[in-house]
């Protein structure tokens, strides 16, 4: 019992240790560019946490990463590496945009859910290709999803700049050129901000904050994912396949079916990643639509140790760092790349530290088992 307690403590301690270690290494980087690490870290914290609107921005930053981390973790849990969340969310966002600007005159209660559903559908569709290839043809999902990411970049570019480009944009006479973007989505397809709800609690947020209902939706999704994994028969199968495919098969579970359903679910969640940006900040999809949420999701899932609640925490950590980066850039003239380095170092330290700690825990357990067993044997002989 005491050992179990120790293990839990170590599990929680690992990411904390990794953060400390990476802060230390980043300090060296900051010193190297002639700034004071203390001042930089202090500014990150003060800038990010001293004002409510700043905190709201952190939550807004974290929103897509929660979905992305969950999508990646679903893959990890069944032993698959879904690197394709990147492409899946872009396709998902496009599907949502398409449903947004083509359907007109629907009330918001129908239009918005439909748009969100289309986002999930788009992500699912894009994840179907790699998992079909894997299950039927043995194509490794890492290769196929990476390739599909590139295809999705180009495809989205083509769809936005060519097929569905909004050619009705009103330009001022002789000024500028048309943006390569889709038509704007009608208000019925947009996600309301959280301002109204927070206002009820006396929290007033300025207009430039785009925190919206996708954030609570992300929290809900994390809860649902946890429920799915830990409480449903399918989640049980998914974990069994992820941890010992052979034993799962022997028990009568069909790993191929689990892979198929699980990966499609992962794709569906991935399809929601871009919607917070699309349906509250942009209102249309253009060539500058944010990228890399899919790759960041891998890091988020890794740091969150594939636990849905861990993923919420690590997504917020990333949101916090992003906000802090803006702070040190404007206030201290420290390049934003410092934060990128900090993130990278953090991911590496967490991988190393959890590995070392897990090995240590394993060794502890083995020793204990041998001790218990040999004492049992000798007591039998007596």
- Residue 100's nearest CA partner among 187, 193, 194 is 187
Position among 163, 172, 175, 380 found at the interface with another protein (CB under 8 A)? 380
Q: What are phi and psi of 325, to 5 degrees?
A: -60, -40
Closer residue to another protein in complex, CB, 337/368: 368
Q: Is 370 in the site for another protein (CB under 8 A)?
A: yes
Sequential DSSP letters for 229-254:
HHHSHHHHHHHHHHH-HHHHHHTT--
Q: Is 247 in the site for another protein (CB under 8 A)?
A: yes
Position among 243, 281, 356, 360 found at the interface with another protein (CB under 8 A)? 243
Closer residue to another protein in complex, CB, 31/370: 370
Closer residue to another protein in complex, CB, 162/246: 246
CA atoms of 36 and 20, how far apart (whole Å): 17
Position among 124, 222, 253, 275 found at the interface with another protein (CB under 8 A)? 253
Residue the block writes with tokens 């490794």: 140
Residue pair 73/229 in contact by the 8 Å Cβ criterion: no
Q: Is 373 in the site for another protein (CB under 8 A)?
A: yes
CA atoms of 286 and 261, how far apart (whole Å): 31
Residues binding another protein: number (CB under 8 A): 31
**String marking each residue 254-283 x if it binds another protein according to CB under 8 A:** x-----------------------------
Q: What is the C-alpha radius of gyration for the chain, rounded to an integer number of angstroms?
A: 24
- Strands annotated E in 23-99: none
Q: Is 359 in the site for another protein (CB under 8 A)?
A: no
Residue 148 CA: distances (Å) to CA of 83, 133, 145? 10, 12, 5
Q: Is 169 in the site for another protein (CB under 8 A)?
A: no
Position among 244, 288, 340, 359 found at the interface with another protein (CB under 8 A)? 244
**String marking each residue 173-212 x if it binds another protein according to CB under 8 A:** ----------------------------------------
Task: Record the tokens describing residue 16, joined without a space.
Answer: 């904390």
Q: Is 251 in the site for another protein (CB under 8 A)?
A: yes
Sequential DSSP letters for 123-160:
HHHHHHHHHHHHHHH---HHHHHHHHHHHHHHHHHHII
CB of 12 to another protein, least distance (A): 18
Residue 313 CA: distances (Å) to CA of 159, 233, 310, 316? 35, 27, 5, 5
Closer residue to another protein in complex, CB, 103/261: 261
Q: Is 248 in the site for another protein (CB under 8 A)?
A: yes
SS3 state at 63: helix
Q: Is 227 in the site for another protein (CB under 8 A)?
A: yes
Which residues of this protein are in contact with another protein, per CB under 8 A? 1, 227, 231-233, 236-237, 239-240, 243-244, 246-254, 365-366, 368-370, 372-374, 376-377, 380
């Amino acid at each position: 019992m005491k050992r179990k307690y120790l293990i839990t403590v170590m599990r929680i301690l690992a990411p904390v240790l990794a953060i400390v270690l990476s802060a230390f290494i980043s300090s060296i980087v900051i010193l190297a560019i002639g700034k004071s690490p203390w001042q930089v870290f202090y500014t990150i914290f003060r800038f990010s946490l001293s004002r409510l609107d700043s905190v709201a921005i952190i939550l807004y930053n974290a929103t897509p990463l929660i979905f992305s981390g969950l999508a990646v973790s679903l893959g990890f849990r069944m032993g698959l590496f879904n690197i394709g969340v990147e492409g899946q969310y872009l396709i998902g966002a496009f599907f949502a945009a398409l449903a947004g600007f083509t359907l007109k005159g629907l009330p918001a209660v129908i239009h918005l859910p439909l748009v969100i559903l289309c986002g999930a559908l788009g992500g699912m569709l894009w994840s179907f290709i790699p998992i079909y290839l894997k299950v039927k043809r043995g194509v490794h999902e890492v290769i196929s999803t990476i390739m599909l990411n590139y295809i999705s970049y180009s495809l989205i570019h083509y769809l936005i700049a060519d097929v569905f480009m909004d050619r009705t944009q009103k330009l001022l006479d002789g000024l500028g050129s048309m943006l390569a973007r889709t038509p704007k989505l009608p208000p019925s397809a947009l996600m309301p901000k959280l301002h109204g709800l927070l206002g009820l609690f006396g929290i007033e947020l300025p207009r430039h904050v785009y925190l919206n209902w996708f954030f609570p939706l992300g929290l809900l999704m994390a809860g649902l994912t946890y429920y799915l994994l830990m409480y449903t028969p399918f989640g049980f199968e998914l974990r069994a396949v992820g941890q010992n495919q052979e034993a799962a098969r022997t028990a009568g579970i069909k790993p191929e079916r689990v892979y198929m359903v699980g990966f499609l679910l992962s794709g569906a969640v991935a399809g929601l990643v871009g919607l917070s940006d699309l349906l509250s900040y942009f209102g249309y999809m253009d060539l500058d639509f944010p990228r890399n949420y899919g790759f960041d999701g891998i890091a988020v899932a890794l740091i969150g140790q594939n636990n849905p609640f861990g993923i919420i925490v690590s997504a917020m950590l990333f949101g916090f760092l992003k906000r802090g980066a803006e702070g040190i850039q404007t206030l201290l003239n420290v390049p934003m790349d410092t934060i990128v380095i900090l993130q990278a170092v953090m991911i590496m330290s967490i991988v190393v530290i959890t590995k070392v700690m897990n090995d240590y825990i394993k060794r502890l357990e083995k020793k204990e088992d041998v001790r218990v067993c040999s004492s049992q044997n000798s007591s039998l002989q007596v």
